[in-house]
């Protein structure tokens, strides 16, 4: 949570939803800074729940409106209103934690596109996504809450530590550092860095690639890998075995084997 302006999307909607076949794109609609205000979080919570139940959506992209910034985080001017609306500070932050946990737990891959400022909540949301792609130039990525005399509030410290390790997490958080896309790639915070002119198309291409994979197998692997955390190896292996049994004999599994034998590209998700 990093910004103090007043949120107002150009067309009045805090969250825009775009659909291209099996890929849904969620747009933080407050260009150029793309603050994640109260209305945005309410809309995001509803949309994530809908995506989870929509078999037609097989991959998701999350980006900021325009090309300048992903998000500067929470609109701090809305904090008193948020506390009043939700009933307490705990309830306000609980909602954000709940929404990010729902994104992380989606049985469909979620790709975040990091451009410009990705600060506070503007990094905590991407940390809950399964893939993070960053711009080669201009990205400023960080959790600078200590500059405001406070700390990350949407699970940022925990997720950042799991993504990049304790040393890099402490270096970023305690120094309120804002790092570039290439630096984020170097420490493992993002999986890919692309020239700015190619970034959004790459995110769409990746989402469509993921959407073309067998949906049940993707969902099972997300449960295994995302849910692994610090669980003992035996628990991870048991989860994998459950995934194997869940996909055994399905139409997609039969199609995959048949395509392999026929030396052609498989055509999944056809029923």
Find out whether 64 and 115 touch, Cβ atoms under 8 Å.
Answer: yes
**Per-residue b or e along 75-88, where b marks 16 or more CB atoms closer than 10 Å to that residue's CB:** bbebeeebeeeeee
Element housing 115 (H / E): none
Tell me whether the omega of the peptide bond preceding residue 50 falls within 30 degrees of 0, making it cis. no
Find out whether 73 and 48 touch, Cβ atoms under 8 Å.
Answer: no
Give the burial class of 218: count Cβ atoms within 10 A of its Cβ; 0-12 exposed, 13-18 middle, 19 or more buried: buried
Does 104 participate in catalysis according to the annotation? Answer: no
Residue labelled with tokens 């005399």 = 149
Q: Which of 24, 145, 183, 220 is catalytic?
A: 145
Q: Which of 47, 78, 81, 124 is catalytic?
A: 124
Nearest residue to 226 (alpha-carbon basis) of 55, 102, 50, 56: 102
Does 124 participate in catalysis according to the annotation? Answer: yes
∠ CA 125-80-66 to the nearest 5 degrees?
40
List, in sequence order, every residue forming a beta bridge with 28; answer none if it has no partner: 15, 64
Name the pairing type of β-strands 59-64 and 23-28: parallel
Measured distance CA(172)–CA(167) in Å, rounded: 9
Give the burial class of 15: count Cβ atoms within 10 A of its Cβ; 0-12 exposed, 13-18 middle, 19 or more buried: buried
The residues carrying an active-site annotation are 124, 145
């Amino acid at each position: 949570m990093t910004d103090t302006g007043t949120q107002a999307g150009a067309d009045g909607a805090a969250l825009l939803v775009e659909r291209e076949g099996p890929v849904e794109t969620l747009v933080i609609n407050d260009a150029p800074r793309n603050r994640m205000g109260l209305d945005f979080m309410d809309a995001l919570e509803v949309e994530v729940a809908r995506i989870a139940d929509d078999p037609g959506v097989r991959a998701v992209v999350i980006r900021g409106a325009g090309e300048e910034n992903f998000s500067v985080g929470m609109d701090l001017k809305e904090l008193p209103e948020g506390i009043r609306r939700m009933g307490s500070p705990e309830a306000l932050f609980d909602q954000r934690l709940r929404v990010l946990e729902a994104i992380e737990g989606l049985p469909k891959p979620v790709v975040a596109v990091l451009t410009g400022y990705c600060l506070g909540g503007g990094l905590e949301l991407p940390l809950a996504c399964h893939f993070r792609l960053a711009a080669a130039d201009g990205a400023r990525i960080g959790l600078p809450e200590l500059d405001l005399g406070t700390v990350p509030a949407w699970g940022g410290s925990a997720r950042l530590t799991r993504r990049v390790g304790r040393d890099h997490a402490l270096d970023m958080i305690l120094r309120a550092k804002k790092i570039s896309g290439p630096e984020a790639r170097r420490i493992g915070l993002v999986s890919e860095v692309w020239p700015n002119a190619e970034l959004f198309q790459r995110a769409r291409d990746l989402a469509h690639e993921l959407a073309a994979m067998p949906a049940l197998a993707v969902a099972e692997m997300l449960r295994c890998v995302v849910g692994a955390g610090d669980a003992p190896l035996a628990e991870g292996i048991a989860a994998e075995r459950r995934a194997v049994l869940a996909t055994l004999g399905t139409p997609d599994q039969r199609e995959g084997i048949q395509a392999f034998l026929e030396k052609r590209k498989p055509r999944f998700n056809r029923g």
